[in-house]
Amino acid sequence: MEEKLVNDALEFIEADQDRELKAWLNELNISDVEHLIDELPQYAVKIIETLSTKRAVNVFRILDFPTQERIIKKLAGNKLTEIIRQLPPDDRTALFSELKGDAVKKLLILLNDEDRIEALNLLGYKVDSVGRLMTPDFIAVKTEWTVQRVLSHIRRYGKNSETIDVVYVIDKEGVLLDDIRIREILLSDPDAKIGSLTDNRLISLNVNDPQEEAIQTFRMNNRVALPVVDDNNILLGIVTVDDILWVANEEFTEDMHRIGGTEALDEPYLDVPVFQLYKKRIVWLIVLFFGELLTITAMSNFENQIAKVVILATFIPLIISSGGNSGSQAATLIIQAMALGEVSVKDWWRVMRREIFSGILLGFTLFALSFGVIACWQLLAPSFAEHYIRIGLVVGFSLLGVVLWGTLMGSMLPLLLKRLKADPAVSSTPFVATLVDVTGLIIYFSFALLFLEGVLL
């Protein structure tokens, strides 16, 4: 199906059948047109110019920013003006916030005075705040209005609203009192007053709230839109669920990049230049490189012990990888739980207590497994002489220690970073693994000295 779409589009374009192309494009789903632009980037401007203005706007708003930027640079003046003017305010703000200063100025000139003031006001909010997501296009009504008057108001102004699924009740000062779903209005007596339909179960967002909090609020409540108010509860705009889904996707992608030990990419992977990828990844690799130097330093302090009992070196990869793996597991679980709102900083003691028990159970499992492997090893191919039990205890207790330590490090670091107002995802799995590598060696050789001193050491 997708291949046929591309072939049909190429047939129209290469034959210069602009009228047929326009009719065909205007019949496609918006997602299909977006797919065509992704598959035929060289014809992206041609496709946008051919579409009717309304459909061009709907397609343009769902494109990724690099594609939008390329189209803006080449799009004819009239079409560009129409698209920028008809973009919903929240989508326009998102576009302007990504563009560089000069480009924003050129686009602002295309707006009428009212829209330009509105755009500048939205751009005045913090980058990651709810204010950047909201649109001022909504339906607001008064408590003394009848249902019939509200319906007339919606018919007159509803087409300019981002959504009419919910209407908002305000007083004469603009203070938000409640919100009412449209179905309740449609099913009510035309002469009923709006005030009689309110239930005072209002959920709203503050304009300065972080966007992450808005994601959590939408997740916990079954709403298609939420009102945005200032500190005086004055209704400023609304945020719709489609914008929240975009932000949630961006946050998830950013966290996944950081968990993997790289800076977040600002564009799709295949659109990022190789040198940009290098810059995003090299910083963390350098940090981890110097972190691993501490591992070398720790090992150099135990050279004598390794020289006396060479078999100890055999188990070093097992010890440090087990600690790093357990730490990475814990970090991933806690970061995801924090992203979903299941865990907060105030839950640190509950998290620590659970991870202590988990670490002990996991550690004892690996203890038993390693001791069994060493015993079988000794039985099938004797390598440890009569001291295999002591060596088994060294490896077993070391695994117990590093796994317990790894789970604690992996679970507590994200909470600590959150407490310090940093991004929990920065405690990425490679970072946790590197920290546990160093401490794992210290734990390992400490148990070696405990069980083997005076015997093999």
What's the whole-number mean pLDDT along residues 328-346? Answer: 82
Residue 309 has pLDDT above 70, yes or no: no
103 shares its domain with 163: no
Pair 136, 110: CB distance under 8 Å = no
227 shares its domain with 373: no
Phi and psi at residue 193, in whole multiples of 5°?
Answer: -80, 145
Minimum mean pLDDT among 68-72, 216-220, 362-366, 446-450: which range? 216-220
Name which residue leads in pLDDT, 382 or 169. Answer: 169
Query: Does 247 fall in a domain?
Result: no
223 shares its domain with 328: no
Write down the mean pLDDT value for the chain: 82
The per-residue pLDDT for 241 is 86
What's the whole-number mean pLDDT along residues 114-134? Answer: 80
Pair 449, 397: CB distance under 8 Å = no
The per-residue pLDDT for 307 is 66
The per-residue pLDDT for 95 is 84
Pair 180, 198: CB distance under 8 Å = yes
64 shares its domain with 32: yes
What's the whole-number mean pLDDT along residues 43-47? Answer: 88
The per-residue pLDDT for 402 is 92
Residue 334 has pLDDT above 90, yes or no: no
- At 19, is the pLDDT very low, low, confident or very high (cuts 50, 70, 90)? confident
Query: Does 134 fall in a domain?
Result: no
What's the whole-number mean pLDDT along residues 74-99? Answer: 84
The per-residue pLDDT for 214 is 85
Pair 424, 412: CB distance under 8 Å = no
232 shares its domain with 360: no
70 shares its domain with 179: no
407 shares its domain with 305: yes
Of 91, 124, 157, the residue at which a domain comes to its end is: 124
CATH number of the CATH domain containing 32: 1.25.60.10
Residue 453 has pLDDT above 90, yes or no: no
- At 134, is the pLDDT very low, low, confident or very high (cuts 50, 70, 90)? confident
277 shares its domain with 386: yes
Domain span at 86: 2-124
The per-residue pLDDT for 433 is 76
Residue 352 has pLDDT above 70, yes or no: yes
- At 324, is the pLDDT very low, low, confident or very high (cuts 50, 70, 90)? confident
How many helices (H) does the chain have, and how many strands (E)? Answer: 21, 6
- At 231, is the pLDDT very low, low, confident or very high (cuts 50, 70, 90)? confident
162 shares its domain with 120: no
Query: Does 390 fall in a domain?
Result: yes
- At 278, is the pLDDT very low, low, confident or very high (cuts 50, 70, 90)? confident
Name which residue leads in pLDDT, 384 or 419. Answer: 419
d(CA 457, CA 199): 77
**Total of domains in the chain:** 3
pLDDT, tens only, 140-187: 899 899 999 989 988 888 887 878 888 999 888 888 999 998 888 999
Instruction: Retrieve residue 108's tokens.
Output: 């602002």
The per-residue pLDDT for 34 is 87
82 shares its domain with 147: no
Phi and psi at residue 14, in whole multiples of 5°?
Answer: -70, -25
Query: Does 302 fall in a domain?
Result: yes
Query: Does 277 fall in a domain?
Result: yes
CATH number of the CATH domain containing 180: 3.10.580.10
The per-residue pLDDT for 337 is 83
Query: Does 53 fall in a domain?
Result: yes
Q: At what angle do helices 101-109 and 65-74 cross, to 10 degrees?
A: 60
Q: Is the dihedral of CA 174, 175, 178, 179 positive or negative?
A: positive
165 shares its domain with 278: no
Of 240, 257, 286, the residue at which a domain comes to its end is: 240
Of 240, 259, 288, the residue at which a domain comes to its end is: 240
Closest CA to 215 of 189, 241, 181: 241
Name which residue leads in pLDDT, 402 or 91. Answer: 402
pLDDT, tens only, 388-438: 788 889 889 999 999 999 999 888 988 888 888 777 766 566 777 777 888
Minimum mean pLDDT among 1-5, 21-25, 363-367: which range? 1-5
CATH number of the CATH domain containing 331: 1.10.357.20
* CA trace torsion 23, 25, 28, 32 (10° rounding): 170
Residue 261 has pLDDT above 80, yes or no: no
233 shares its domain with 375: no
- At 219, is the pLDDT very low, low, confident or very high (cuts 50, 70, 90)? confident
Phi/psi region, residue 139 (left: phi>0; alpha: psi -120 to 50; beta: rest), is beta
Query: Does 351 fall in a domain?
Result: yes
d(CA 31, CA 40): 14
pLDDT, tens only, 194-214: 988 888 788 899 988 888 888
Query: Does 61 fall in a domain?
Result: yes
The per-residue pLDDT for 338 is 81
Instruction: Retrieve residue 379's tokens.
Output: 């039985």
% of the chain beyond a pLDDT of 90 = 11
